[in-house]
Structure 1
Amino acid sequence: MSNSARFDRGHTDDLMSFLAASPSPYHAVANAAERLEKAGFRQVAETDAWDGEAGGKYVIRGGALIAWYVPVGATPATPYRIVGAHTDSPNLRVKPHPDTHSGGWRQVAVEIYGGTLLNTWLDRDLGLSGRLTLSDGSHRLVNIDRPLLRVPQLAVHLDRSVNADGLKLDKQRHMTPVWGLGEVHEGDLISFVADEADVPADEVRGWDLMVHSVEPPAYLGRDHELVAGPRMDNLLSVHAGTAALAAAATGGATLPCIPVLAAFDHEENGSQSDTGAEGPLLGTVLERSVFARGGSYEDRARALAGTICLSSDTGHAVHPNYSERHEPGHHPMPNGGPILKVNVNQRYATDGTGRAIFADACERAGVPWQSFVSHNSMPCGTTIGPITAARHGITTVDIGVAILSMHSARELCGADDPHMLANALTTFLEG
């Protein structure tokens, strides 16, 4: 039986809608929260006192979301089962003084965020999204999801050696998008964005804006066995984790653990922020949940000692045109199931115990799984996994879905892998 016959493409359809509706981390957490609300979760404010009642709760801080479900009968020492992910993706972000120009062109000054593949942003129709901060301290989401910007590539006639010598891009000089012609005035861009968000421009005090490709996700291939789309690293895992937590909560009355989704911001630039995995947010939420249920420091220590985290992030599928860049004995393939990510130098947190935990979850979910390890001559990337393990002292396993074109403006995965990942995460969260 093929994977397509076994796994529901409805999940992948919903993922594609989620990707299209989540051009920024702020939109991603808002959309995840909306899905959790439909599953009976409720938002709690960090500034309020928390109760220890059973049920689903979540906290939003900026581009991060922590959600958890307390089953009936949970004690202060009940351990957590955590799915970790991140909401940010490499892209181009608007600078504090965005209005610039050159040669009669109106342009937008941008800063490079994360380790993006610069060439993938060239000659694309780009929109603008993020949030505005208003004078009263509130935020307004904005999503201009239509062709607005473009980073034009130099014509081959003016760079005759580009195909022989390769494209060389200067981050400062060559990555500035154009968005029109004519004179430039300070405040033009923000006035335009404020008007799009239906707020007075003089009410805008700050902004966190970024560009995104307006091309929608799409099935690809003869049999539609692949999906192409933006921000799969790592909204694919955020979406799967949200679906898994909602599913676990549906039958959560008898859960032996407290399932958690931790979706952090700023993974792509090191996680060092108040909304990143290296910040205190997750630890504070877990600790407050223990104390809200009448627990002590001893109960907190017991709960964390029994806690397990699956850090879910995308990994590399074997590239058909560069297979020599991959470890010969480990060639993850799309639609082969989620991957277990291993690095003995602790760029990934997985060990033998973690392998057993992941294999058990996949077996009980009825999904295949694969192993990923880097070629010895290729530096290995990292994730929130080692940070989570070290900061909180909890067993952590790095997993994910194999994709091509990681950190491109548009990535590629197997159409069945998202649902397989969600099934494995659901089984894991159910304990």
Structure 2
Amino acid sequence: MMTAHLQVQHLLDFIDASPSPWHVVASIETELAQHQFTRLYETETWALQSGGRYYVVRDDSSIIVFVQGQKPVQDSGFKIIGAHTDSPGFRIKPNAASCIDGILRLSVEIYGGPILATFTDRDLSLAGRISYKNDQGDIDRQLIHFDKPLLRLPNLAIHMNRGVNEDGLKLQKQLELPLLLSTLTAEQLPQAYFAELLQQQSGIDAKQMLAFDLAVYDTQKGSFWGAENQFYANSQLDNLASCYAALQALLDDTVMQSDATLVCALFDHEEIGSQSTKGADGSFLPDVLQRIAMATDTLGQDYHRALAKSFMVSADMAHAYQPNFPNAYDPDHKVMVNNGPVIKVNANHRYSSEGISEALFADWCNQADVPYQSYSHRCDLPCGSTIGPITSAKLGIRSVDVGCPMWAMHSIRESAGVFDHAAMIKVTRQFFISAV
């Protein structure tokens, strides 16, 4: 049995290899290949076999992985774990390169809701994909990853910002977020210089490049910390820790023998509302479930019977109690790092949990010998949301919102507990093999 620290080391390696949502899906595909999964394409006809292992990718950064159950879906339903592949941060604008006083900068747009101050004074770089016209005249795309520090957002010295420690660091989003890249001579053109940089890294002729999707990421690798290495830190824990836990639960040999059809649905665009062709509020998951049903002759009422017997675990990280800021938490709902997965509850349905789904997840925790906690947000603070309410409403499937407790959510450097990650894998395996 793999130790908790080894499981987290694999998670850190996964995150370090996945600096953008497009790389996340590529990393997952690499892992699926080791378990003999077959890629399906939405433009082709599907022929599915009982016990078959399959996955579908939409627009390179959302992926749905499934194992066809031993029993028909109308008899056993779908067991789904949903999570998201994106994290808040910066994205490079189309005409990003500009030069001021000989310093080349790249302008950025804020993606989602990052803690902006945490991006200062970090070793930043770029990762994503380039769309280009290939030698055959077709539009193609290729991943690109600068694996060295390339960019920086230097802080202003305290001598010029005397109130920073009292007032906090405040960055003007249009003027003070461009990232420093290089110095240029008067003869060098900013856009041409940046295009040449992309060409050198990708091997694609700059004249063939038509567009790019580039995310800014932190090059510092993930690490353990604490007196007994009981914590770990990295970027993108929200929500790659949930994605990877779900994937590890599914790839267990015993789990993949399930009677039910098992699904991991990992979506891009959660951090910006999920409303896109590949987001949880789009058609991706309903399309795939319907295609599974049609490929197995589960039509009409039988498909709706399958949905009625289905269940979804919406897995997204949870807010751990931080003792330096006690007033940020409901005193009766402090969830602690390394005390087990968290069931997230909100009366206004910002989370999809309700009494029955909470009870089911609690029972799976008990069966798996895993501790669990319950979280409710302070009533006087706005509560975030997840893909849970969106997806369960769209499909009519009962759902519970859960996650591992973590510190500094939406910082460029987040922290969590080693033993919680292991516990989440264990309980989601239990979910996959248990009756609903």
Give, as a single letter, the amino acid of the residue that structure 2 aligns with 1:203: Q
Residue 187 (str. 1) matches residue 192 (str. 2):
yes
Instruction: Output the CA distance in 1 between the equivalents of 2:362 and 2:73.
Output: 28
Alignment of 1:163-312 (within 5 A): 163-182=165-184, 183-247=188-252, 250-253=254-257, 255-312=258-315
Q: Contact conserved, 1:7 with 1:420, CA < 8 A, in 2? A: no
Instruction: Output the CA distance in 2 between the equivalents of 1:402 and 1:256.
Output: 31
Q: Which residue of 1 aligns with 2:23?
A: 27
TM-score (norm 1): 0.96
Query: 1:158 Cα shift?
Result: 1.1
Q: Which residue of 2 aligns with 1:59?
A: 56
Query: 1:353 Cα shift?
Result: 0.6
Q: Which residue of 1 aligns with 2:359?
A: 356
Query: 1:384 Cα shift?
Result: 0.3
Match of 1:380 among 380, 383, 386: 383
Instruction: Output the CA distance in 1 between the equivalents of 2:313 and 2:42.
Output: 25
Residue deviations 1:140-164, cap 9 Å, x none?
1111121100011111111112222
Higher mean C-alpha displacement, 259-268 vs 35-44: 35-44
Match of 1:145 among 133, 139, 147: 147
Q: Which residue of 1 aligns with 2:120?
A: 122
Query: 1:379 Cα shift?
Result: 1.0
Q: Contact conserved, 1:76 with 1:294, CA < 8 A, in 2? A: no
Q: Structure 1: 5+ residue runs without aligned partners?
A: none
TM-score (norm 2): 0.95
Give, as a single letter, the amino acid of the residue that structure 1 aligns with 2:281: E
Q: Contact conserved, 1:79 with 1:303, CA < 8 A, in 2? A: yes
Q: Structure 2: 5+ residue runs without aligned partners?
A: none
SS in 2 for 1:146: coil
Q: Which residue of 2 aligns with 1:368?
A: 371
SS in 2 for 1:234: helix
Q: Contact conserved, 1:99 with 1:186, CA < 8 A, in 2? A: yes
SS in 2 for 1:294: coil
Give, as a single letter, the amino acid of the residue that structure 2 aligns with 1:34: T
Query: 1:166 Cα shift?
Result: 2.1
Query: 1:6 Cα shift?
Result: 9.7
Instruction: Output the CA distance in 1 between the equivalents of 2:392 and 2:195.
Output: 41
Instruction: Output the CA distance in 2 between the equivalents of 1:188 and 1:390.
Output: 48
Query: 1:358 Cα shift?
Result: 0.6
Aligned CA RMSD, in angstroms, stands at 1.5
Match of 2:78 among 66, 77, 80: 80
Q: Contact conserved, 1:76 with 1:291, CA < 8 A, in 2? A: no
Instruction: Output the CA distance in 1 between the equivalents of 2:76 and 2:291.
Output: 13
Q: Contact conserved, 1:132 with 1:204, CA < 8 A, in 2? A: yes
Give, as a single letter, the amino acid of the residue that structure 2 aligns with 1:278: D
Query: 1:127 Cα shift?
Result: 1.1
CA gap 1:361/1:240 in 2 versus in 1, 3 angstroms? same
Q: Which residue of 1 aligns with 2:91?
A: 93
Residue deviations 1:199-251, cap 9 Å, x none?
2222221111011010000001100010011000000011111111111x545
Query: 1:295 Cα shift?
Result: 1.5
Residue deviations 1:95-139, cap 9 Å, x none?
010111222210011100000000000011101100111212222
Higher mean C-alpha displacement, 401-410 vs 191-200: 191-200
Instruction: Output the CA distance in 2 between the equivalents of 1:94 and 1:77.
Output: 48
User: Which portions of structure 1, spanning 4 or more consecutive aligned residues, are displaced by more than 6 angstroms?
Assistant: none
SS in 2 for 1:13: helix
Identity %: 37
Q: Contact conserved, 1:104 with 1:181, CA < 8 A, in 2? A: yes
Q: Contact conserved, 2:83 with 2:243, CA < 8 A, in 1? A: yes
Q: Contact conserved, 2:255 with 2:432, CA < 8 A, in 1? A: no
Q: Contact conserved, 1:52 with 1:294, CA < 8 A, in 2? A: no
Higher mean C-alpha displacement, 118-127 vs 69-78: 69-78
Give, as a single letter, the amino acid of the residue that structure 2 aligns with 1:343: N
Instruction: Output the CA distance in 1 between the equivalents of 2:5 and 2:200.
Output: 38
Q: Contact conserved, 1:24 with 1:129, CA < 8 A, in 2? A: yes
Q: Which residue of 1 aligns with 2:316?
A: 313
Give, as a single letter, the amino acid of the residue that structure 2 aligns with 1:56: R
Residue deviations 1:303-328, cap 9 Å, x none?
11111000000010001111111010
SS in 2 for 1:59: strand
Instruction: Output the CA distance in 1 between the equivalents of 2:254 and 2:62.
Output: 23
Q: Contact conserved, 1:195 with 1:201, CA < 8 A, in 2? A: no
Query: 1:348 Cα shift?
Result: 0.3
Q: Contact conserved, 2:123 with 2:218, CA < 8 A, in 1? A: yes
Instruction: Output the CA distance in 2 between the equivalents of 1:75 and 1:312.
Output: 23
